[in-house]
Structure formats: C-alpha cells, structure tokens
Amino acid sequence: MIKINLVREGRAVRGAGAPAAMAVATAGPGSANLNNILVLGLLVLAGVAAGGYWFMTKQRLAERVAERDQKQKEADALEHIIKEVEDFQKRKDSLQQRIDLINQLKQNQKGPVRIMDQISRDLPDLVWLDRLEIVGGQINITGRGLNPNAIALFVLNIKNDPYFEEPQLGTMAQVSTAPVVYSFDMSFGFSYAPKTPGAPGGTAAPTSTATATTTQ
C-alpha cells in the first residue's frame, strides 16, 4: 500500500514559491529608480535644448535689432545729406533769380541807350526829333525836318538799320513857312540782335518805356 504525504508536498510547494516572490519584491524598487533617472535625464536634455534654442533666438533677435539700428543711422545720415542738398538747391535757385533780375534790369537800362544811339546814327542832317517813346518792342517818333527829302532819307536809314524793323511813316505836313519846316511821326520795332540780310526783323526787346524830347 502506497502513502503520499500531501501536507509536506503542499508546504514544499509553498516554500519553493516564497524565494521567487521575495526576488520579485526585491527587484521592484531598483527598476523604479532607473525609470526615474531616465525621465529626469530626458527632462534635463529637454531643458538644455530649450535653453539653447532660447539663447540662439535671443542672439538672432539682438543681431536683427543691431542691424535695424545701423540702417536707421544710415537713413538719418542720408536724410541729413538730402536736406543739405535741398537747401543748397533752394539757395542756388534764389541766387539765380537775383542774377536774372539784375541782368534784366541791366538789359532794360541798356535798351533805351542803345536805341537812342542807333537812331542818332541814322538821323541825317536837317532832321531832328521832338519826341521818342519806347513801349514794349515798339518805338514811336515825332520830329521835324527842313524838307521832305531829308525826312525820307531818315526813314530809309531806319529801314536799312539791322536793329530796326520796317518803319511805318504816319503823317508828314508843313508846319511853318519861314523857314519851311515839316513835321512827321513814325513807328517801328527793334531788337538787340541784328537782322541777317534778307531776313525779317529780330525778336522784340523786353518791355520798357522811355520818352525823350528835344527842341531845336
């Protein structure tokens, strides 16, 4: 007859399982620490990466700000130069206007003198002027002569003068008999530039007014 001691077998089974359970219990805290270390290491790496990105971003922003400030300085310098150029141009324009005005005044002053000089060259003997008027580019003359031929010669001299245009003789009439004197009036244009042969009269001179009266 065979007898089996179940109680001892059960105890043996329970005794054999105890060391395994203890091993598992002993190994559990070590694995948890390793996991914590790994997580902490990842957090540290993430912090370092974030810090590096922040530092690079800050440095790039500082470079952009410095570049902007440099360009602003250059723009301010160019604006100052442009303002100086504009001021210089304004002074130049003002000076040019003054020079043009002075030249115009000189031209206007020279005009009547030049005209009277030319007329005196064309004026023949036995003819004299009572009145000379310059209005714009037109000359109006009133004078007297001792005979019609002398007056006609004066008209011809004016016609042939390169500074005068075609004269227009108005009226000619005898005003006295002892001695015989004829009066006349005439008008014509003038220019500062002499006419070329065969060409019409030049451009009329600037507007000016002068009156000369002589009596003989």
Q: Given a cut of 50, is residue 209 above it in pLDDT? A: no
Asked if residue 16 is part of any domain, the answer here is no
Which residues contact residue 200 at a Cβ distance below 8 angstroms, ignoring those fewer than 6 apart? 165
CATH number, domain with residue 180: 3.30.1360.100
**In sequence order, what are the beta bridge partners of 144?**
128, 183
What domain range is 68 assigned to?
51-216
| Of residues 63 and 207, more confidently modeled | 63
Nearest to 201 by CA among 154, 151, 163, 156: 163
**Whole-angstrom distance, CA of residue 139 vs CA of residue 153:** 18
In a domain, 186, yes or no: yes
In a domain? residue 14:
no
Burial class (CB in 10 A: 0-12, 13-18, 19+), 210: middle
Q: What is the per-residue pLDDT for 125?
A: 92
In a domain, 45, yes or no: no
97: left (phi over 0), alpha (psi -120 to 50) or beta: alpha
* Average pLDDT of the segment spanning 184-205: 66
User: Whole-angstrom Cα distance, residue 152 to residue 184?
Assistant: 10
Instruction: Look at residue 31 in the predicted model and tell me its pLDDT.
Output: 75
- Does the residue 69 lie in any domain? yes
Q: Give the helix ranges, DSSP H, for the chain.
A: 6-122, 148-160
Q: Is residue 161 in some structural domain?
A: yes
- What is the rounded average pLDDT for all residues in the chain? 78
pLDDT at 215 exceeding the cut of 50:
no
Question: Does the residue 43 lie in any domain?
Answer: no
The reply to whether 40 falls in a domain is no
| Model confidence at 72: pLDDT above 80 | yes
Chain segment 118-147, per-residue pLDDT in tens: 899 999 999 999 999 988 788 999 999 999
Mean pLDDT, rounded, for 175-180: 88
pTM of the model: 0.45
| 150 neighbors 127 (Cβ within 8 angstroms) | yes
Q: How many domains does the chain have?
A: 1
Q: Are 169 and 155 contacting, i.e. CB atoms less than 8 angstroms apart? A: yes
pLDDT tens for 19-61 read: 554 444 455 566 778 888 888 888 888 888 888 889 889 888 9
pLDDT of 101 reads 78
Whether the Cβ atoms of residue 188 and residue 164 lie closer than 8 Å to each other: yes
